[in-house]
Chain A
């Protein structure tokens, strides 16, 4: 009774408080220099662990774990949503996705009364459209917003099914036990859209048969139009709509010839997996992790240690590898300031979601309380907030 009243008052005084749990200081994770981590948490289908290390002057990686109702109704369906958004050109798009994608997903789930590939696809589309209208609005004041974009990796666990959707080069990897040997195998669940992959280059060539320069090798790295490594993203409006590829956008982003059809796509690759008892965990991470660890190395690290702190352990392993490549000590690498740090490694986000067989297989109608955690925590100093960050409409109904 009293707690109900308190909740009501809290909801009135602090409308966003329902999105973050405030029961103790550890709930929103801990900060240690440029590293943020939440070693242990409980989602609807098991445990989880999150860690983020910043390298850019402004953190370009954003991430979230939402567990509980996946619709705007309290009646569910219930499950877990994981998002990893690796921004480029600035933090604005990744932040926008963090604030809007899950709200759209909840809205479409409510409309269709269930989770589906179609719901996820629509949520991506609505987010892309939302960001486009933000760019349109801000273009006169801040034209460089047209050259900001983000990769977008999403995992949804609902009713014993795991949906994986992806744009760009973040990656989701499943750890699956082989019964006979007890080994844990890594299985990559996400398709990637980076021009370093032959099939991605072929796709670009087939979609732009008249443009021999659609992908260009620059600094030994394949880039779409010599500008960007990923072929699909949210944002990057300057490569999707010709009207934003003009002055006063910086010359380096402007193409010599106008284009008629979008060069980059925002259509996610979505796969559906029926979870099985031997599926142990899923590692979701931005490419900052995968450039230093193979899928199997990452899975072995998670499997070989206690669940608590798994994500932080993976980040540490990646940083140790980065230090080795730069021929320096890990302890010294950690002392380098954000900004300069980008020359030593990328922003890295890791979310490890453990799958508890009993909890995964239970019906998506079994009610549970909502959990919401944002990678990097929520206490950003005001000066790091982009001017374009729009307030989240609670519930977005």
Chain B
């Protein structure tokens, strides 16, 4: 286990990084348009991507490589805990789109494994990314302000 002291240090570092340049994820246009073009078949997504929904009902797509990150693996585990494995529909992650954006920005900056792990730990130890947007917002704030 990582020591609380070290965790705080890491959290500070990533907070700084994130605050420095909060870039929005540019979602592939085809993904956002897919819903409008919905035909008989399920909405298609750009090649090499997976689709998920967030607690605030946003449909997002990311390249498959994100599935290798600690953060996404943790979020998938949490989704299973929270909702069970969906048998007839898409995956829903127990956090909002803003959180995903933040997580993606961290992964894109290639933060080291240690930091990804620390964020994953924070997710689970914070208020468990509750369902409502409001609570999620709060937990995000806690996450950012706890350092």
| Set of chain B residues within 8 Å of A218, measured between Cβ atoms | 84
Count of A-B contacts judged by CB separation below 8 Å: 54
A32 within 8 Å of B (CB atoms): no
| Count of interface residues, chain B, beta-carbon cutoff 8 Å | 27
Cβ A219 vs Cβ B47 within 8 A: no
| Set of chain B residues within 8 Å of A137, measured between Cβ atoms | none
Q: Looking at the complex, which one of B45, B84, B87, B88 makes contact with A328 (CB distance below 8 Å)? A: B45
Interface string of B40-57 (1 = CB under 8 A from A): 011111011111000000
Task: A344 to B87: give the CA distance in the assembly, Å.
Answer: 9
Closest to B84 in A: A219
27 residue pairs from A and B, CB less than 8 Å apart = A218-B84, A219-B83, A219-B84, A220-B84, A221-B84, A324-B41, A325-B88, A325-B89, A325-B90, A327-B42, A327-B51, A327-B59, A327-B90, A328-B50, A328-B51, A329-B44, A335-B64, A336-B67, A337-B67, A337-B68, A340-B67, A340-B73, A340-B76, A342-B85, A343-B80, A344-B91, A346-B85
Q: Looking at the complex, which one of A291, A328, A346 makes contact with B49 (CB distance below 8 Å)? A: A328
| Set of chain A residues within 8 Å of B88, measured between Cβ atoms | 325
| Shortest CB distance B50–A (Å) | 5
Interface residues of B in 54-98 (CB under 8 A from A): 59, 64, 67-68, 73, 76, 79-80, 83-91
Closest to A342 in B: B85
Task: A219 to B94: give the CA distance in the assembly, Å.
Answer: 14
Interface string of A152-170 (1 = CB under 8 A from B): 0000000000000000000
Task: A2 to B55: give the CA distance in the assembly, Å.
Answer: 70
- Residue of B43, B84, B85 with most chain A CB atoms under a 10 A cut-off: B85
A198 within 8 Å of B (CB atoms): no
Number of chain A interface residues as a range = 20 to 34
| Shortest CB distance B49–A (Å) | 7
| Set of chain A residues within 8 Å of B67, measured between Cβ atoms | 336-337, 340
Given contacts A324-B41, A324-B42, contact A336 B84 (CB under 8 A): no
| Set of chain B residues within 8 Å of A324, measured between Cβ atoms | 41-42
A210 within 8 Å of B (CB atoms): no
Interface residues of A in 139-177 (CB under 8 A from B): none
Given contacts A325-B89, A327-B45, A327-B90, contact A343 B84 (CB under 8 A): no
Task: A336 to B42: give the CA distance in the assembly, Å.
Answer: 20
| Set of chain A residues within 8 Å of B44, measured between Cβ atoms | 329
| Set of chain A residues within 8 Å of B50, measured between Cβ atoms | 326, 328, 332, 336
Interface string of A168-211 (1 = CB under 8 A from B): 00000000000000000000000000000000000000000000
Task: A325 to B85: give the CA distance in the assembly, Å.
Answer: 12
The 9 closest A-B pairs by CB, nearest first: A219-B84, A327-B51, A343-B76, A324-B42, A340-B67, A327-B90, A327-B42, A328-B50, A291-B87
Task: A328 to B42: give the CA distance in the assembly, Å.
Answer: 8
Cβ B90 vs Cβ A326 within 8 A: yes
